[in-house]
Amino acid sequence: MSLTTYWLEHAWLDTNVEPGVALTVSTSGSAAGTPDGRVASVRTGVDAPPPGAVVLRGLTIPGLSNAHSHAFHRALRGTVQVGSGTFWTWREVMYTVAQRLTPDSYFALARAVYAEMALAGITSVGEFHYLHHAPGGSPYADPNAMGEALIAAAAEAGIRITLLDTAYLSSGFGAAPDRHQLRFSDGTAEKWAERVSALKERDGVRVGAAIHSVRAVPADQLATVARWAQDREAPLHVHLSEQTAENDACLAAHGLTPTQLLAEHGVLGPRTTGVHNTHLTDGDIALLGSSTTGTCMCPTTERDLADGIGPAVALQRAGSPLSLGSDSHAVIDLLEEARAMELNERLRTRTRGHWTAAALLRAATADGHAALGWPDAGTLEAGALADFTTIALDTVRTAGPLPRLAAETAVFAASAADVRHTVVAGRHVVRDGVHHSVPDVAGALADSIAALRG
């Protein structure tokens, strides 16, 4: 075991910004991509770097957690901004890209996407993974080839991954998968469970479950997915009430809202996270809060797809922990997601200050990691996973404010472009804005996306 000391010019320690913090990290010398380092000690009031310390200038915060990702959607950036339409027309373009992916091309794309996340200060990602099989629905020789490609991609990019393997069994209430969705379906929840059970956790990897949506998993099979997650104490995520059309269809089919249907089949609970939670009734909010089911807001995607603004304030007050995700990757910038959640609420209510900068940072860090099964990440304290990121305070966006306002500066002015360092398990993944193992992230993105064009 070895010890490395980082000297943090400024550090956000949960509630306040401290100048001059010495953070000692223990590592066992594992290879890159198998993170295991933890914070050994934290000392405040250290005015100058100790001898041999690694100096991190700017504001260091716990690593950011991207709690909701569809890696292949990154290939849609720009393309889906042509013309107009709705979520449902956007989905047709997404299906076209999905049909072209193979395990090899998915690895190349996801490696570049996860490297882009590392450049943005993200140290863990929740990959909501439903692209399981070959075109037409035939399993690969390794039925989990696509999931393993994502796991390998995250390892090479140097970030942690929670693979939220997703059950996707129907195209709508009572309807078989359409031709695009055959790649997604295992046929039944039991067959889904059999396949996903073959995935193994390892250093830097958690395996969780997901229900794509109430329209994509028949009601009588919801409990099978929930039980699989419960038996393993694994995270369980679900797209919930993203679209009013889904709410209407669920009411027509079952006489229940999607939230009520999930509650009836045992899906809600403290290890469950509803993604979006946009169009909810007061009763839905009460159900989610009383069960401490989490909420993952994805503001940049929700506004890009014209989904609407979810009731995040009411959900949190009711007892639902908030996390954040970049979802379709219209942008990959968790600081923007945090800022957008507050600014969206200001637009809706015409009042300011619904969350403090500290509360928004907690949603982007500790609460996001917890939603992905990493409860020991997201804080700078002894015993925590040594995952942190440093934001420059001397750029054209961040220069000027007093250092004690660095958290407010980070949330309300900084962007992913201001991230200088990303450390996972005590090891630099990004140093001075350059990714350690993917030095040309833009080139890797361009090449992997170009390979998917028809």
Q: Which residues are designated catalytic?
A: 276, 327
Q: Taking a C-beta distance cutoff of 8 angstroms, is the pair 354, 345 a contact?
A: yes
Cα dihedral across residues 254, 256, 260, 264: positive or negative: negative
User: Which residue, chain included where needed, has tokens 């001059």?
Assistant: 20
The rounded distance, in Å, linking the Cα atoms of 119 and 73 is 18
Look up residue 359 and give its amino acid: A
Look up residue 426 and give its amino acid: G
Task: For 136-224, list the strands marked E by DSSP.
Answer: 160-167, 205-211
Q: Taking a C-beta distance cutoff of 8 angstroms, is the pair 3, 387 a contact?
A: no
160-167: strand order across its sheet = 64-69, 122-129, 160-167, 205-211, 236-240, 272-276, 294-297, 322-324
Q: Comparing C-alpha atoms, which of 187, 207, 199, 96 is closest to residue 138? A: 187
Across 121-155, b (16+ Cβ under 10 Å) vs e yields bbbbbbbbbbbbbbeebeeeeebbbbbbbbbbbbb
Residue 8, strand partner residues: 21, 56
